[in-house]
A and B are shown apart, each in its own frame.
Chain A
Amino acid sequence: MSKKVKALPAADSQANSVLREIMAGDPVRIGLSILLGFIIGGIFMIVFSEDVVDSWSNFGADPNYAFSAVWWSIQDGYGALFYGSIYNFNADDFISGIRPLTETLRFAAPLIMAGLGVALTFRVGLFNIGATGQIMVGLAGATFVSTRLELPQILHMLVAVLAAVLAAAVWGIIVGILKARFGAHEVIVTIMMNYVATALFTFFLREPAFLLEANGGGTPKSDKPADTARLGALLGESFNLHYGLIIAALSVVAYWWLMERSTFGFRFRMVGHNPTAAKAAGIKVENTFIWALAISAGFSGLAAANQGLSISGGLTTSIEAGIGFDAITVALLGGSRAGGVVLAGLLFGAFKAGASSMQVAGVSPEVLGVVKALIVLFIAAPPIIRAIYRLPKPGPKMIEAMQKAEKVSK
């Protein structure tokens, strides 16, 4: 008997079809998922709004007020999200009015870069949750260059970015080797590598010989990056938006070219869909895994550079800001395609940008965490959305139609 007992070929192909459904991501279902996510998030806001609770406990006294309180709680919450992430109509001038949108772009940039990294591994058939660790070591690399080396303007920044990419890539290669040469499952390896990377980065930040700030105290914190290495402001000093956005845009183009146009991408996708056929077609599947993980980590390294080189003070591990984990949801929501990842990154970037204005409006921005999780869960689990909206199930009918088409052509 063979070592790996497959459940059933039918089971396999059906599971794949679900994954494909996620990857294919038809716009209607995505739209409905997002809508439903916001609706449920709204319910959370209503139920835990103090005004609503007060007004409903005095429902008899003023029923109108009770209903309007419900409406206001949602308007407060999602209104603040809009003002904080897209355009602030209360602002005095256009510059401060459009500021939220630039903030969204600023927050979206690293999510997109790391999201592309995770997306790449998805398409090679790997489930990589290691972006967090790759960003940590990338940060270590970028920060070492930006705080400990003296180089001319621009060159300093480029070297720092390169250091981040290389450091992260090394981290990815380790995962690749453990996967390809030792057969370790990448999920568990990347989780462990995340912790090791975080500990390692903390160690560097603690050590005067590496990254600890000059005259530093007991807390692990670095100096601020040298001005020569910083990612400069993109739209002048009145906005926080910096050149990281340009790097993100270039990454998107690079990713698209790599996956859709280049022969590397062709082989990556081949391995992702059918590794045994790839092997028979002369592709070294193990090496492909290693390459994919290295390049994927490189994208995470760009996200690290974005974080480490845009900060105005010294940095700690908190600079990672959950980007590595968010990258997974970005990649899933974006269907692992360049365009999808951009849109998903923008949505989640808007969530991050709008959080502070929601806080000001008295609505806990944590509700966005719920919305985010629900949206991606609905997308990843098409049956839920189909059940809720009573959509028809794709399947036998479509296949029949295709078979008919094939017969007609004969």
Chain B
Amino acid sequence: MKLELRNITKRFGTLVANDNISLTLEPGEIHSLLGENGAGKSTLMNVLYGLLQPDAGEILIDDKPVKFSGPGDAMASGIGMVHQHFMLIPVFTVAENVVLGNEPTSKLGRLDLGAARKLVKEISDRFGFDIDPDALIRDLPVGSQQRVEIIKALARDAKALVLDEPTAVLTPQETDELMEIMRGLAKSGTSIIFITHKLREVQQVADRITVIRQGKVVASPSPKASASELASLMVGRDVDLEAKHKPAKIGKASLVIKDLTVLDDRNHQMVNGVSFEVHDGEVLAIAGVQGNGQTELAEAILGIRKVHSGSILVSGNDVTKSTVRQVLESGLGYIPEDRKKDGLVSEFTIAENLMLDGSFTPPFAKGIQIDFAKRNEIAKDLIQRFDIRTQSAETLAKQLSGGNQQKVVVARELGRELKVLVASQPTRGVDVGSVEFIHEQMIAARDSGKAVLIISTELDEVLALADRIAVMYRGKIVGIVDAKTSREKLGKMMAGIAA
């Protein structure tokens, strides 16, 4: 099947998510759609899949224009989609998920699960997936869930398959397996649109590449293009985030993690015997692919997640079993990876958000009353010092841009007396200008003698900030290395190969 998107434009209010985008997918080819987070890739695919209606432009299949008013139409035309967040129902079985919306029935509208099982088995065997049709989705590992998604699409006779950031949640090994699967599918005649922002993967499988930036197609480089070539096309400037800063003046170890083991909500052991120290005046960055236990590690340090075993010391005090409030009051600042969920109350004003974790003690509290005069004074000061662009301290947090919201979080945490700063993904979803500002603040914190722990999945960010780099893989620290370590070597470590 030949698929063509012609001059697609999609706006959300004033934001133009897709600006006149065209691309073609030939039968049996893997077409890589490369772009940064927020470049408009997912919007484009939602248009293709009928989840969104384009404001202009058209979709052609085998040179005939088609119109999709919903995913049902897209599927009927042979387009299958594997979403970034799986569209699987955790309490249903594999077979039920695969046939949902397209159910084989026998008499009385009775669901024919036998036929569904056979279908799953057949496809699963054809591509060597090894999936049990009767397993509940929630019991399957992420990689297998993704295969169920692929089976789901194939069961609907998908001729063109869209894979939206399929490797974001996979381990390197699973990623390699997925690449194999993609090649197998392409060989059997299925066309694939492969959306990603990871260069290595593009180089590995793509037959054709389209780079999108800020909603526009910026280039269609050859699949043989080098990584740095692709990267600069994607980011739009020569990637050089290496910050120039003074050498670290290392002091005593203020954050000490010893043999830490942490479980996730489903009792999976996500952090597995991790030990490291962060010294005053240095930045230790934890690198690694998302989902290798970094989130749980950060949550355990703050105390919002229970420590299974091991210990955490903040400037000599054991805070392993402390409450979050005790940890914060022991001099630890925390920038969460998801500011909207954990860092801000979007219905609160900036002034209120700046006192979020300070409501128990002066200067914000005067006895059991809020000291409004002090609060406003501090808010004014922090807004100025941290360059938060707003009309007033009474603006609601949700009305700010992502960058300014993050600055509110950073201002709050760095605005009080700290010994240790733990920052998770400190610049995720933040505009370039704010990234630089926030990085400067992190370095300033280091230079003023604080112990700074940065957890980031962006290797560039890690390299820009770190004095030492610890790489995390499957819940363990693969190794702690010097900041001058080559990207290549770090990449290997992120795939679990020790130095």
- Whether the Cβ atoms of B389 and A273 lie closer than 8 Å is no
> In the assembled complex, how far is the CB of residue B285 from the closest CB belonging to chain A, in whole angstroms?
21
Stretch at the interface among B20-28, B234-242, B343-351, B441-449: B343-351
- Tell me, rounded to whole Å, the shortest Cβ–Cβ distance linking A108 to chain B: 29
Contact of A261 among B88, B325, B369, B395 (CB under 8 A): B369
Question: Could you tell me the distance between the alpha carbons of A221 and B328 in the complex, rounded to whole angstroms?
Answer: 55
Interface string of A279-290 (1 = CB under 8 A from B): 111111000000
Query: Bound state CA distance, A317 and B437, in angstroms?
Result: 65
Q: Give the size category of A's interface with B.
A: 20 to 34
**In the complex, B266 has a CB within 8 A of chain A:** yes
**Which single residue of chain B is at the shortest CB-CB distance from A409?**
B391
B359 touches A267 (CB 8 A): yes
Is there an interface contact between B86 and A406, defined as CB atoms closer than 8 Å? Answer: no
B488 at the interface (CB under 8 A from A): no
Residue of B nearest to A397 (CB): B13
Contacts of A267 in B (CB 8 A): 359
Q: How far is the CB of A73 from chain B (nearest CB, A)?
A: 46
Q: Point out the residues of chain B lying under 8 angstroms from A406, CB to CB.
A: 389-391, 395, 399-401
Q: Which residues of A contact B357 (CB under 8 A)?
A: 280-282
Q: Which residues of A contact B48 (CB under 8 A)?
A: none
Contacts of B90 in A (CB 8 A): 1, 3, 5
**What is the CB-to-nearest-CB distance from A270 to chain B, in angstroms, rounded to a whole number?**
6
Contact for B86 among A1, A283, A399, A400, CB less than 8 A: A1
CB-contact partner of B13 in A262, A280, A284, A399, under 8 A: A399
Option from A269, A273, A276, A284 in Cβ contact (under 8 Å) with B342: A276
Instruction: Report the interface size for chain B: residues with CB under 8 A from the other chain.
Output: 47
Judged by a CB distance under 8 angstroms, whether A214 is at the interface is: no
Could you give, for residues 136-148 of chain A, a 1 whenever the CB lies within 8 Å of some chain B CB and a 0 otherwise? 0000000000000
In the complex, B61 has a CB within 8 A of chain A: no
Contacts known (A1-B137, A20-B347, A277-B356); A263 close to B304, Cβ less than 8 A: no
Residues of B within 8 A of A396 (CB): 13
Tell me whether A283 and B325 are in contact (CB under 8 A): yes
Interfacial residues of chain B within 1-21, with CB under 8 A of chain A in the complex? 13-14
Of the candidates B329, B352, B369, B395, the one whose C-beta lies within 8 Å of that of A262 is: B369
Determine the chain A residues whose CB is within 8 A of the CB of B302 once the complex forms. 280
A277–B337 Cα distance when bound, in Å, is 12
* A390 proximal to B (CB < 8 A): no
Question: Which residue of chain B is the closest to A267 with respect to CB atoms?
Answer: B359
B365 within 8 A of A: yes
Q: Do B399 and A274 touch across chains, with their CB atoms under 8 A apart?
A: no
B143 → chain A, closest Cβ, in Å? 13
Q: Is the CB of A277 within 8 A of B391?
A: no
Whether B342 pairs with A280 at a CB distance below 8 angstroms is yes
Interface set, chain B 302-340, CB cutoff 8 A to A = 302, 304, 323-329, 334, 336
- For residue A269, which residues in chain B have a CB less than 8 angstroms away from its CB? 348
Q: State A324–B302 Cα separation when bound (angstroms).
A: 41
Q: A282-B323, A406-B400 are in contact. Are A274 and B346 (CB under 8 A)?
A: yes
Interface residue B386 (Cβ < 8 Å from any Cβ of A) = no
Least CB distance from A12 to B in Å reads: 10
Instruction: Check A280–B14 contact: CB distance below 8 A.
Output: no
Chain B residues lying within 8 Å of A409, measured Cβ to Cβ, are: 389-391
B residues at A contact (CB < 8 Å): 13-14, 86, 88, 90, 137-138, 145, 265-266, 302, 304, 323-329, 334, 336, 341-348, 352, 355-357, 359-360, 364-365, 368-370, 389-391, 395, 399-401
Other 4 A-B pairs with CB < 8 A, given A263-B359, A273-B345, A409-B390: A1-B88, A261-B369, A266-B352, A270-B348
CB pairs A–B below 8 angstroms (15 shown):
A1-B88, A1-B90, A2-B265, A261-B369, A261-B370, A262-B369, A263-B369, A266-B359, A273-B345, A279-B342, A280-B357, A282-B357, A284-B323, A400-B14, A406-B390
Q: Give A contacts to B, CB under 8 Å.
A: 1-3, 5, 16, 20, 261-264, 266-267, 269-270, 273-274, 276-284, 396, 399-400, 402-403, 405-406, 409-410
